[in-house]
A = this chain, B = another copy of it.
Amino acid sequence: MLIPIERGAREPVTKQIVEYIRRAIEAGRLGAGTKLDPIRVLARELGVNRETVAGAYHELEILGLTESTVGRGTFVLPRPDPAPAAAAVGGDGGRPFEPVLSRSVTAALGVSVLRAPHAVPAGVVHFDRLVPDASLVPRDEFRKALNRALLKGGSQLYEYGDPRGLERLRRALVERLTRSGVECDADDVLITAGSTQAFAIVARLFCDPGDTVVVESPTYPWACAALVSLGLHVSAVPVGNQGLDLDRLEAVLARGGVRLIYTMPTFHNPLGISTDLSHRRRLLELAARYAVPVIEDDFEKDLRLRGRGAPPLRALDTRGQVIYVSTFSKALFPAARVGWLVAPRRITDAALSVKRMMDITSSGLLQAGLAQFLKEGSYDRHLRRVVRELAQRLTAAETALEEFLPPGSHFVRPEGGYLIWVTLPETIDSYTLLTEVERAGAVYAPGQIFYPDARRSSALRLCVSQASVEDIQRGVRVLGEVARAALPRRAGRATTRQAATVQV
């Protein structure tokens, strides 16, 4: 034990040792039953004589904090009282350091989505988080696949490993990408810590502070926070039921200064929409004309529930301009922290260097487990099960929305994924309504957090992955009842019917 001792201080060394250990025990840092260093060991480590340490140990015993047994040593006793607050920083007379955070981080901390979530009472139906249902995770199959991979993998799995990511995982992804229409080789793929890291890498790859990135409005809110934290400007282009408004996009691109476009053409978050082939081709033409690279975020690619989709932008891109990112976090589970980026090799090579400076490489252990899990067919089996289950939940939610939403509401039927974008009558502010809905028994993500300008919104995002069919029905009824009660006496029917939306 290394105790910071100040020689020649007013406080004798014995007392300094006692106080350090006392604080550690009272704060729970040294738990009951912990054996303290033998006297001779601690004396040697601290460069003091044994009597000093023996005196300190004796005093700790008198204080009722430890118990010494001849021949066994000195042990920490259970804490007598609730621990007092930890010693305040600066307690030794130093003025506490006042950290001044960087302007970029300070700006990002101001983005509303970063506010700490509050605890929600038990029994409330969770429509709020875009995360998979942990109860559907094939835990045992994954654990066994991981075991087999670690047994087979040898010692090199424990090293830093291939900086692009484990080759057999990249090869397995290439086969799946081929089936999605994306032509690439294993060296075009970079394994990342989820698609969040892939996004952060691409932003740094193309943008310097002060540069502008086009995002959709509404969009994934953490993307905006990440861009702002890098000192980048966000230019929001509206996205509707047909996708990004391409005329508005062209107007923004024509002004110049845009270095990157971030888009989710398939199962958009939060809208749930997917764009068609002609929209994808026109978007690529625009990006090509202005020579602006595109990040295609395909975060729920394996969760198609209905219809047949258009190929990803990356599959249609003949110029090498689209950087495709995806993840196992939404269809399997997030704790693997494995996502990937697919781009022409020279872009992947540069991305690799940026990743090197962020965290060197992703864990080869979990990559090996995932590669094995894919190879054994467990991932495909899991997908079949999860797609069946999500389809039931989505149908239940849609039926309940049609039944319970007040007139003037509408929602989008997604072709895949597990979110539904619901628009309430426009007199309602979904952000303020949330407090009442939560009290009545359900929580959702209010529309406002998805708009880069944090505008008032009557829309909200429901995720159906965290609730059973029964909970979904109950939650939607609660939402509908509270929304209905919040309407003025004579609610208007303001909105018009749109493609892929259901008017209530």
Docked Cα-Cα span, A211 to B135, in Å, equals 47
B183, B316, B359: which contacts A20 (Cβ < 8 A)?
B183
Query: Which B residue sits closest to A206, measured CB to CB?
Result: B102
Q: Given A93-B318, A319-B94, A335-B160, A196 and B358 touching (CB < 8 A)? A: yes
> Are B319 and A336 in contact (CB-based, < 8 A)?
no
> Are B350 and A362 in contact (CB-based, < 8 A)?
no
B27, B104, B335: which contacts A364 (Cβ < 8 A)?
B335
Docked Cα-Cα span, A4 to B322, in Å, equals 15
Complex interface: chain B residues within 8 A of A481 (CB): none
Stretch at the interface among A120-128, A147-155, A469-477, A486-494: A147-155
**A347 on the B face (CB < 8 A):** yes
**A156 on the B face (CB < 8 A):** yes
A-B contact pairs, 20 of them (CB 8 A): A3-B181, A4-B181, A20-B181, A89-B319, A90-B318, A90-B319, A91-B318, A99-B346, A108-B357, A137-B158, A139-B155, A146-B150, A157-B335, A159-B335, A160-B334, A208-B231, A209-B231, A226-B357, A358-B358, A363-B363
Query: Which B residue sits closest to A323, measured CB to CB?
Result: B99
B30, B87, B226, B311: which contacts A175 (Cβ < 8 A)?
B30
Query: Which B residue sits closest to A114, measured CB to CB?
Result: B353
A3, A185, A231, A359, most chain B CB atoms within 10 A: A359
Stretch at the interface among A197-205, A419-427, A435-443, A456-464: A197-205
- Which bucket holds chain A's interface residue count? 35 or more
Query: Which B residue sits closest to A174, measured CB to CB?
Result: B29
Q: What's the minimum C-beta distance from A481 to chain B, rounded to whole angstroms?
A: 30
> Are B99 and A358 in contact (CB-based, < 8 A)?
no
* Interface residue ranges of A153-187 to B (CB < 8 Å): 155-161, 174-175, 177-181, 183-185
Complex interface: chain B residues within 8 A of A96 (CB): 319-320
**A410 on the B face (CB < 8 A):** no
**A500 on the B face (CB < 8 A):** no
Q: What's the minimum C-beta distance from A422 to chain B, rounded to whole angstroms?
A: 24
Q: Given A311-B3, A357-B196, A357-B226, A208 and B104 touching (CB < 8 A)? A: yes
Docked Cα-Cα span, A90 to B361, in Å, equals 30
> Are A102 and B204 in contact (CB-based, < 8 A)?
yes
Query: Which B residue sits closest to A93, measured CB to CB?
Result: B318
> Are A99 and B293 in contact (CB-based, < 8 A)?
yes
- Kindly supply a per-residue 1/0 record for chain A positions 407-423, scoring 1 wherever the CB is within 8 Å of any chain B CB and 0 otherwise: 00000000000000000
**A497 on the B face (CB < 8 A):** no
B3, B23, B99: which contacts A206 (Cβ < 8 A)?
B99
**A11 on the B face (CB < 8 A):** no
Complex interface: chain B residues within 8 A of A105 (CB): 204-205, 350, 353-354
Q: Given A3-B311, A4-B316, A180-B2, A222 and B97 touching (CB < 8 A)? A: no
**A365 on the B face (CB < 8 A):** yes
